[in-house]
Amino acid sequence: MTQRLRIAVLGAGYVGSALATAAAARGHAVTAVRRSAAREASEGVVSLSGDFIAGPIDGMPAELDAVVLSVAPSRTTDGYDMTYPPAAAAAVALARSSGASTLLYTSSTGVYGGRDGEWVLEDSVRRGVGPGNAALIAAEDIVMAAALPRAAILRVAGIYGPGRDMRARMSSAASMPQRGEYWVNMAHRDDIVAAILHALALPDLPAIMNVADGMPTRAADIARWLASSAGRDPESLAFTNDGERSRNDQRVSSALLQGTGWTPAYASFREGFATGL
């Protein structure tokens, strides 16, 4: 990108803080907001703390070019309901008041729900059940209805990366639902950050894009690969849990995003587990 953007990142957590650092490194003017105490800011990032859902944050620039909403739920039973829809409404309000033409919201591929292994595209019906997915869908609807010049939803697959290592969980053959015969979709944190920066620069921004490495793999095959990589016999693994089903048994296509020119640096879990953690 050659144009210097004024960007507000609402939710400077695992993905948001990495995004703020990467955007500042590209020369953008970045303001990052955390609900908890602000972290030590990276070079070029103005770090603010406060509950932006409750109202305007002191220190926020009066004028912005882009708002990126990347929040995580609070740790309460109704954390999703208390976080996602009101955060989406606050992000829309900030975009309008600051004159920002672009609003990006990182949602989740969980909104598609379990599909018995079928492929899902951006126009697939959202049928994710449970309060978490209901809140995510409600937040998507708020962003879609905002009628901003450039608003987009990035539906992100299972996030992993430095400090978020899922290898131990994916090695536990006995606890995997469906005897491990369900599909897992992943997206490395750095690829998610690259996708957001890529979306900010797109002249024609699709309204919805899936962010995933595009290489879904059955959970049992991941466990076998991990066992083999550790020098153990993959055939010795016992997948015994057949009384539970996975809630997200689907294959997520990221062909739309990749068709715009984005390519994941970690093309599958293999590269990510080998060098991205």
Contact between 194 and 19 under an 8 Å Cβ cutoff? The reply is no
| pTM of this prediction exceeds 0.85 | yes
Other C-beta atoms within 10 Å of 272: how many?
Answer: 25
Cα-based distances in Å from 156 to 91, 107, 210: 18, 6, 6
Cα(200)–Cα(1) distance, integer angstroms: 9
The CB density around residue 263, as the number of other CB atoms within 10 Å, is 14
Q: Which of 25-34, 102-111, 113-122 has the lowest mean pLDDT?
A: 113-122
Q: Averaged over 45-73, what is the pLDDT?
A: 93
Q: What is the pLDDT of residues 96-112, one digit of tens each?
A: 999 999 999 999 999 99
Model pLDDT, residue 183: 95
Q: How large is the average pLDDT for residues 41-65?
A: 91
* pLDDT band, residue 1 (cuts 50/70/90): very low
Residue entry with tokens 């987009």? 152
pLDDT of res. 39: 60
User: What integer pLDDT is reported at residue 246 of this predicted model?
Assistant: 86
- Helix H or strand E segment including 29: strand 29-34
Residue 2, pLDDT > 70, answer no
Q: Tens of pLDDT along 187-212?
A: 999 999 999 999 999 999 999 999 99
Distance CA 187, CA 86 (A): 26
Cα separation, 244 vs 250, in Å, equals 16
pLDDT tens digits for range 153-177: 999 999 999 999 999 999 999 999 9
Range name among 39-48, 120-129, 201-210, 262-271 with the lowest pLDDT average:
39-48
Instruction: Please tell me which residue, 80 or 229, carries the higher pLDDT value.
Output: 229
Pairwise CA distance, residues 108 & 114, whole Å: 13
Give alpha helix (H) positions in 128-188: 131-144, 167-171
Taking residues 236-248, what's their average pLDDT? 89
Hey, which CATH number is domain 6-163+185-216+249-265, 3.40.30.10, 3.90.230.10, 1.10.510.10, 3.40.50.720? 3.40.50.720
| pLDDT bracket for residue 79 (50, 70, 90) | confident
**Per residue, what are the HEC states of 1-23?**
CCCCCEEEEECCCHHHHHHHHHH
How far lies 142's CA from each of 53, 152, 275, in Å? 14, 11, 38
User: Whose CA is closest to 110, among 142, 89, 135, 91?
Assistant: 135
Helix, strand, or coil (residue 276): coil
CB 154 within 8 A of CB 207: no
pLDDT number for residue 76 = 59
**Start-to-end C-alpha separation, the chain:** 27
Beta-bridge mates of residue 67:
8, 103
Q: Report the C-alpha gap between 195 and 106 in whole angstroms.
A: 11
Give 213's Cβ-side CA count (13 Å radius).
23
pLDDT value at 277 more than 60: yes
Q: Enter the tokens of residue 178.
A: 């469906």
Positive or negative, the CA dihedral 41, 42, 46, 52 is negative
Confidence label for 84 from pLDDT (cuts 50, 70 and 90): very high
Residue 41 pLDDT class (50, 70, 90 cuts): low
Q: Quick check: 248 and 117 in contact, CB under 8 A? A: no
